[in-house]
Chain A
Amino acid sequence: MTDPGPLIEPHIPALRRYAFALVRDRDRADDLVQDTLERALSRWLLRRPDGDVRAWLFTILRNLHVNAWRRDRRHGTAVAMDEVTMPAVAARQEAAVEVHDVLAALDQLPEEQKSLLLLVGVEDFSYDDAARILGMPIGTVMSRLSRARQRLRSVVETGKVALLRRVK
């Protein structure tokens, strides 16, 4: 059996980056990465041997994240992602900074849009790979990406409006 270490290790910084952008908490992000690595090691022999290790790892991480989120929602500790709106940004005192804080604005997007923007825009996955990781039909990636960017723009825009209103 080949040692999975050298094949997995190069991707850990990027996994930490993706996890951090998803959960926005240092420790919880590393918990998520640790769960991902444990899962990957336990399923190492079950993966497609010719498959892309990086995409496989990101798929595991994303699924763990979504499952944890669903669990939290059942227990009533999180807000449904489709219903998330503006209060977080508007309520922040440092709203002037928030206008340029795209990472914070990203939090206002549904998880799928958020992941898509991160996988394509930050992790440089191809459109096809991003679709596979997120389990969406490949033919729908571009229109989803367009909608995600549109929503991000509007979140940033709304933050700006909120700021102006507050300054007055």
Chain B
Amino acid sequence: MTNDAPIVEDELQAYVDGRLPEARRAAVDAYLARHPDVRERVALEMRQRASLRGQLDSKFAEPVPPRLWVANIQAARRATMTRRLKGVAAGVLLFAVGAGTGWLAADRPGAVSASAPLATTGVAQSANAAYRTFVVEVAHPVEVASAQQAHLLQWLSRRLGKPLVAPDLTPYGYTLMGGRLLPGDGSAAAQLMYDDASGKRLTLYVRAAEGSETAFRFQREGDAATFAWIDRGFGFAVTAPVAREELMPIAEAVYRTFGSVNSSK
């Protein structure tokens, strides 16, 4: 931009805002000196700009009221979130229940995928990480205890008009301890935790996942064995510190729970 280029309206606006490049300021000044009508208009706009700022100065200087303190808003949010998370954990499972249809038709429930499909692996790994984090937890293994969860599952089922269940694994010696909500891969994930008489813990992990695979994928990390599968946008993983043969029927039972609930509607 040269210094003798004609002055355009955009530059006058930038002049009003004090944002005109230094190199052009003299040219605009000279232009305004030659055009008193424009000069008067620009001066008025500058006065109005200044008085608007002036009128709002006192608002800016006011002390921030306590209800707008971030710490206070965070505290209030934590209180409502604790209540809400309990509902969401059950809600994620609800969607999982609906996702089981057609699973059996597409493949035998016992079929184990020979390849290592990426999406299933992702679910298995997330489930495993979540398992490792919370299975050792003594004070707070679950966020929502099973008693409370039963109430929430019922409440959500009624409210949404869709069946919602936590799989019954008592035939395998595992009873539901409760559940928690976790961050999933870009969405929420739910972890239900079960334990048996000896205190051995098993988790069922559910989250939204890409892909339409239907076969089980087995994975072992240390002593934790995981069966994971994906169906219609949801990933499931069952993890426990047991042998593959022991875990397989449990994974099938979990599948059957979702499948039967869905088909009985």
Interface residues of A (CB under 8 A from B): 4-5, 8-9, 12-14, 16-17, 20-21, 30, 33-34, 37-38, 41-42, 100-103, 106, 117-118, 120-122, 126-127, 142-143, 145-146, 149, 152-153, 156
Contacts and interface: CB of A to CB of B under 8 A. Distances in A.
B78 to A, nearest CB: 10
Interface of B: 9-10, 12-14, 16-17, 19, 41, 44-45, 48-49, 51-53, 55-56, 59-62, 64-65, 67-71, 73-74, 77
B55 A13 contact: no
The secondary-structure label for the interface of chain A is helix
30 contacts: A8-B70, A9-B70, A12-B68, A13-B61, A13-B64, A16-B64, A17-B56, A17-B59, A21-B56, A21-B59, A30-B65, A34-B73, A37-B68, A37-B73, A41-B74, A41-B77, A102-B48, A103-B55, A118-B52, A121-B49, A121-B53, A122-B53, A143-B9, A146-B12, A146-B13, A149-B16, A149-B45, A149-B48, A153-B48, A156-B48
Given A12-B64, A146-B13, A149-B16, A122 B48 contact: no
Given A16-B59, A143-B9, A146-B9, A103 B70 contact: no
A149 to B, nearest CB: 5
Given A14-B60, A102-B52, A41 B73 contact: yes
The secondary-structure label for the interface of chain B is helix
Nearest to A5: B70
Contacts of B14: 142
Given A17-B56, A121-B53, A153 B65 contact: no
A108 to B, nearest CB: 13
Contact of A16 (B17, B53, B60, B74): B60
Contacts of A142: 9-10, 13-14
B55 A101 contact: yes
B39 to A, nearest CB: 14
Closest 5 CB pairs of A and B: A142-B10, A5-B70, A103-B55, A102-B52, A17-B60
Given A13-B60, A106-B52, A30 B13 contact: no
Contact of B19 (A21, A30, A33, A127): A127
Contacts of B71: 5
B52 A153 contact: no
Given A30-B68, A34-B67, A120-B17, A143 B10 contact: yes
Contacts of B65: 30
A121 B13 contact: no
Contacts of A41: 70, 73-74, 77
Given A8-B70, A37-B70, A122-B56, 13 more contacts: A12-B70, A16-B60, A33-B68, A102-B55, A103-B55, A103-B56, A121-B52, A122-B52, A142-B10, A146-B9, A149-B13, A149-B16, A153-B45
